[in-house]
Structure 1
């Protein structure tokens, strides 16, 4: 199973201890953009929390429960964010995809490129048939990424997430192994 994939703009690699400090810096820069949509991200986020996430991602990878990648700039190696697959249901060949990108690098297509590579990893390396992308209905940036990947909107799920703003409806998108030519 591959732990590193490279593209023209981004390289994705399994998280490692060296990612703790750059992860912390990226989150610290992006709190105002991430906190409304991510329960783990909050004002006062600490380096200890960043280390705990990297450790969790590594343990989950080793146990086959989740596969999260650091997104790095291919030309500079800078840490840009994270993208991965979790909620793996091996017997149903299904997983959920999540992603985020540091605020200073949004709008360049980097998250879409990383998500495309993670989807390929899911289909080719993990043998998945279905990848779900669920986003708060008002998170236009995440929904745009799902649409750029060619994911199909399946519906709106009412009060599906409890975010800092309260119960939130989500848009459920799906990518299928055989029907997503852009992945």
Structure 2
């Protein structure tokens, strides 16, 4: 991002027992375990979450996430338990538009930690990172309209529902309607 050196940004944030941190090479085994556990839930909405996901996929993801972080193209975080360091899922800021100071927010939580507030807490930490450190002014969350857990996280994070978009997402080769939510930085809301 213009004027921001990714190497100078903090690589971890913590609140209420949840930590988000930059992915590390040693995360591969934990990612694979979480993905395999979550095929029936997360895999319904995200194509990459499948029985075929393995160590090489996790290694490739970590390498991609690290390279994109270093280029300020994407900020992907591992979501971990702040005490045990157990891997709970992922959250990230992608599709960063520097000119308009906006980005997309994505998240997923492993099946055994769903409905515990992990996704909401991780999303809040990532939104804070976006507004406070990256100086973004708008975050967009796009999820399948029928994905109630993801929509609940968006709502609990304070995102405003902007509407449905026909066929916006492709999941398992099928066009799905998407629910679009936005969060704007407090300073951006005042400049009307």
Q: Shorter-chain TM-score: which interval?
A: over 0.9
Tell me what 1:166 maps to: 174
Tell me what 1:81 maps to: 89
> Residue deviations 1:133-177, cap 9 Å, x none?
011000000000000011000010100011116100000000000
| 1:6 counterpart = 2:14 | yes
Once the two structures are TM-superposed, the CA of residue 35 in structure 1 deviates from its matched residue by 1.6
**1:4·1:14 contact (CA, 8 Å) conserved in 2?**
yes
Match of 1:65 among 61, 73, 79: 73
Q: Report the Cα distance in structure 1 between the residues aligned to 2:160 and 2:77, rounded to whole angstroms.
A: 23
Structure 2 residue ranges without an equivalent (≥5) = 1-8
SS at match of 1:69: strand
Pairing 1:1-183 to 2, within 5 Å after superposition: 1-164=9-172, 166-178=174-186
How many residue pairs match? The answer is: 180
Once the two structures are TM-superposed, the CA of residue 43 in structure 1 deviates from its matched residue by 2.2
Q: Supply the RMSD in Å over aligned alpha carbons.
A: 1.3
Q: Report the Cα distance in structure 2 between the residues aligned to 1:179 and 1:107, rounded to whole angstroms.
A: 31
Q: Report the Cα distance in structure 2 between the residues aligned to 1:175 and 1:21, rounded to whole angstroms.
A: 33
My pick for the range that moved more, 31-40 or 49-58, is 31-40
- Do the aligned partners of residues 179 and 127 (structure 1) sit closer, same or farther apart at CA in structure 2, a change above 3 Å counting? closer
**2:137·2:184 contact (CA, 8 Å) conserved in 1?**
yes
